[in-house]
Chains A and B, each alone.
Chain A
Amino acid sequence: MENATTTLYFHLVPLVVFLPLAGLVINLLIGKKLGEVVSGTIASLASGAAFVVACLLMLSLRSNPEAVVVPFAEWIRVGGLAVDWAFRVDTLSVTMMLVVSGVGTLIHIYAIGYMHEDVRLNEDPGRFTRFFIYLNLFIAMMMILVSAESYLMTFVGWEGVGLCSYLLIGFWFEKGKEGTGNAIAAKKAFITNRVGDFGFLVAMFMIFLQFGTLSFSELAHVSAPVGALGTVVVAGIGLFLLLAVTGKSAQLPLFVWLPDAMAGPTPVSALIHAATMVTAGVYLVARSAPLFELSPVGPQAVAWVGTLTALFAATIAVGQYDIKKVLAYSTISQLGFMVAAVGMGAYVAGMFHLVTHAFFKALLFLSAGSVIQGVEHGHHHDPHADHYAEFDPQDMRNMGGLAGKMKVTTAVYIIGALALAGVAPLAGFFSKDEIVAFAFGKNPVMFTMLLLAAFFTAFYMARQVWMVFFGKARTTAAQGARENPLVMTIPLMVLAVLSLVGGALNLPHVETLGKWLEHTMEGLHPAEFNWLVAGISLAVAFTGIAAGWFFYGRRSWQPGQSDPMKKLLGPLFTAFERKWWVDEIYNALLLQPYKDLSAILAEPVDQKLIDGCANGLGRMTGWFSRGIGVLQNGLVRSYALVILAGVAAILGYLILR
C-alpha cells in the first residue's frame, strides 16, 4: 500500500465473497435450529457486512482511485493460460458491489417478513432457512462476478448466479401449473441462459486466442489487431459477448425466461431478476469496453438489441394482467435501455441507470410482493371465499382500491412507479434522460424508439397503479387486504428514499458517478445535458401517465371487464397481451422441431437401433453363457474328465511337436 497517510482496505476485498459464504455455512449447518428470525438475521448480517466492506473499499478508492488487483490464489496454469484467483477493485466493480450488497441487504431484511408468510402460505415452514442459504449464495456468486480480475473468474460468478437463479425460481418446485410449472420455469431460465453462456465461452476462447490472456488489466490496453482475420475475431468477440448479455440480461431474443422467472418468491424477483443478476450483462459490456472499442460491429449490435428490447418488452408490459409480469417486462425493457446505453458507448449512463433501476425496480417488486401478500391475506380471511377454487393473488384484475388499506405500500409504489416512468426529479428521470440524450446525438431512429419505449413505460406503470391501488376493490380478497409488518415496509421506505434521491448520484454538470467511473474506463464520452431532450422525455412521461389515467383512472375498472385498450387497439392489444406470441413462435420454430428430432432419435434410433444392438449383445451373451453353463454341471467327475483331457492334449502336443 503505497499511500501511507490514509488507511486502505483493499486487502479486505475477498471478504465480500467470504462473508456471505460464512452466513450460508452457518445457516446450512445450524440454521434450522436457530429459528426464522435468527437465521434470517444471520443472512442479512452476512450481506450487510459485505456492504460494509464494499463501503470501506469505496472510501479507499476515493483517496486512491486507481484500480487495484488483490491476488488471492493461484488457479489455473496450463501452457500459455495463466488464470489466477484475483480480485479487482476499481470504481466500476465497487459500484456494482455497493448495489449488490446494499440492495441485497434490504431485500434480505424484507424477506425475513415476506418468507415468514410465504412458507406458511405454501405449507412448508421448513424451507425458510433454505431460502436464505440460496440468497447468501447468490450474493457471494454475484460478488465473484463483479470482483473478478479475469473473464474466467467472472464466468464462475456468471454460472453461479445462474445456478442460484435456477434454485430460487424453482424454490417452490412442486407448485405452479400442474405441479410442475415452477420447475419448468426454472428449467427454462437455466437452459435459456445456457445459450448465453455458450456465447460467453466462445467469446472467452476468442479473446484468449487473439490476445493470449483473460485478465481485465492486461486486456485494458490491447490494441486492435491488424488484418482481416483480426477484424473478424474482434467483431466476433463483441457479438458472442452480446449473446452472453442477451442471455443473462434477458434481451432479445433470449428474454423469454425472465417473465417465467417470476415463479420465484418475490424477493428473488426483486434481487435477482430485477436489481442485480440481470444487470450482469450490462456490467459485462462496461467491463469489456476496451474490447468493444476495437470494432464498431459489436457495440452497434449491442445498441440495436438493447433499443429493440426496450421497445418490444415495453409494449408487452402494457398487455399484462399479472402484477409481477408487468414488472418483469418492464425490467426487460429497462435492461434494454441500459444495454442500448453501453452499446452506444454511454457507459456512465448505462451504469447510472443500472444503479437507479436497482433502487426503484427492487422497490416496485418488493411493494408488489407486499401487495400480493396483502391480497392473499384478505383471501385467506374471507369467510365466504371458496378456498379450493383457483385464486390468483397476483392478477391485477383481482385487485383495486388498495390505496386505503395499504398506505405505506401504496406510497412507496407510486414513488417507484414515478421514478420508473421518468418523472423529474426522481432517480429514473436523470438516468433515463441521460441515455435518451445520448441517443439523440447519435442515432435519431434509436432516439425515437427509446422515447416510444419511455412512453409505454409511463403508460403501463400508470395503468398498473390505477388498476391496483385505486378504484373500487374488485374482489373480497382485495377488500380484506391489510398492510404488512414493519420488517417488510422499512426496507421499502429506504428504497423509496433512494429512488427519490438516487438521481443525485450523477446530476447534470456535477457528474459524480461519471468522474468516479472515469478512473476505470478511459476515454468516457462526457454526458451532455440537453434541455430540449429533457423536456421531450418529461413530456413523454407525463403523456404516458395521462393516457394511463384516461383509460384506467377516469373510470374504475369493473370486475369481469375487459381491458379498455382492447377496443381501441384491437388485434394489436391482443398481440401485447399474448406477448407477440414469442413463446409460441419459439415453440414452433425451435422446440417442436427439436422435440420431433428427439422423438425420432428416441423411438426408432435409440430404442430400436441402439438398444437393439445393446440388447442383442446381451442376449448373445446370455445364449453363450447358457451354452457354456452346461459345462458347469456341478459334477466333480466331469471336471476331472476335462482335466484329464487337458493332460492328454498337452502330452499329445509335446509328443507330436
Chain B
Amino acid sequence: MPVITLQLVIFITVAALAIASALGMLFSRNTVYSALLLVFNFTTVAFLYFMMGAPFIGLAQITVYAGAIMVLFLFVIMLLGTEQIARIEQLSAQSVAAVLLGLVIITEAVVVFLLRNPTSLVVTSGGDVVSVNEIGGLLYSQYLLPFEITSFILLVAVVGAIILTKQEKPAGKAVEGEVKK
C-alpha cells in the first residue's frame, strides 16, 4: 500500500469526480445535462493527462472533445428537441442485468489489477513532459502513413455527414429546380 501523498489525494479526488460525472451522465433524464456532465468528465480526464505530463493530449481533449464534439452533441440535441424521451421502458430487466454485469466486470477488473497481480509499474506525476515537438516529430516520421489516413477518414466523415443530412427532395422537382438555377 503506497504512502498517502498529495498526488494520490488529488488523483483519487479527480477520479471520484470523473466517475461521479460519468454516473450522472448515465442516469440523467435530460440529455442536455448528460452532455454537460460528460464535458465535465472529459475535463477531469484532461486534468489527469496534465498530471501525467501529456499537455498536448490534455489540451486536445479539452478543445476537440469537450469543445468541438460536445458542442456538436448539444447542437444536435437542441436541433432535434429530443432532450427527453418518453419513459416507457420495454427492457427494464435488461437494464438491471446490464448494471449487474457492469458490477461484475468492475469487480473483475479490481480483482485483476489490484488484488491478484498488481503491476509494479508506476505513473510519475510532474516528471518529464512530452512536448508538442516530440509528438509532431513522431507524427510526421514514424506515423506518417496513419496520419495521412486519418486525414482521409475525416474527409470521408465530412462528406458522409453532408450526404446523410442533405434534405431529400422529390426526384422530379429537384431536377427541375436545378435546371432553373
Residues of A within 8 A of B (CB): 635, 637-638, 641, 644-645, 647-648, 651-652, 655
Contact = CB atoms under 8 A, between A and B. Distances in A.
B108 A645 contact: no
Nearest to B103: A648
Given A635-B91, A655-B116, A641 B108 contact: no
15 contacts: A635-B91, A637-B91, A641-B94, A641-B97, A644-B98, A644-B101, A644-B102, A645-B97, A647-B105, A648-B104, A651-B109, A651-B112, A652-B108, A655-B111, A655-B112
A641 B94 CA distance: 8
Closest 4 CB pairs between A and B?
Answer: A651-B108, A648-B104, A648-B105, A648-B101
Nearest to B104: A648
A645 B102 CA distance: 9
B112 A645 contact: no
Q: Is the interface of A mostly helix, strand, loop or mixed?
A: helix
B32 to A, nearest CB: 22
Question: How big is chain B's contact interface, by range?
Answer: 10 to 19
Given A637-B94, A645-B101, A648-B108, 6 more contacts: A635-B90, A638-B94, A644-B101, A648-B101, A651-B112, A655-B108
Contacts of B108: 648, 651-652, 655
A635 B94 CA distance: 11
B31 to A, nearest CB: 16
A641 to B, nearest CB: 6
B105 A644 contact: yes
A645 B105 CA distance: 9
Contacts of A638: 91, 94
Contacts of B102: 644
Contacts of A652: 104, 108
Contacts of A648: 101, 104-105, 108
A652 B107 CA distance: 10
A285 B90 CA distance: 86
A641 B105 CA distance: 13
A651 B105 contact: yes
A308 B53 CA distance: 114
B58 to A, nearest CB: 29
Contacts of B109: 651
A51 B90 CA distance: 89
Contacts of A647: 105
Nearest to B100: A648
Interface in B81-108: 90-91, 94, 97-98, 101-102, 104-105, 108
A652 B104 CA distance: 9
A368 to B, nearest CB: 74
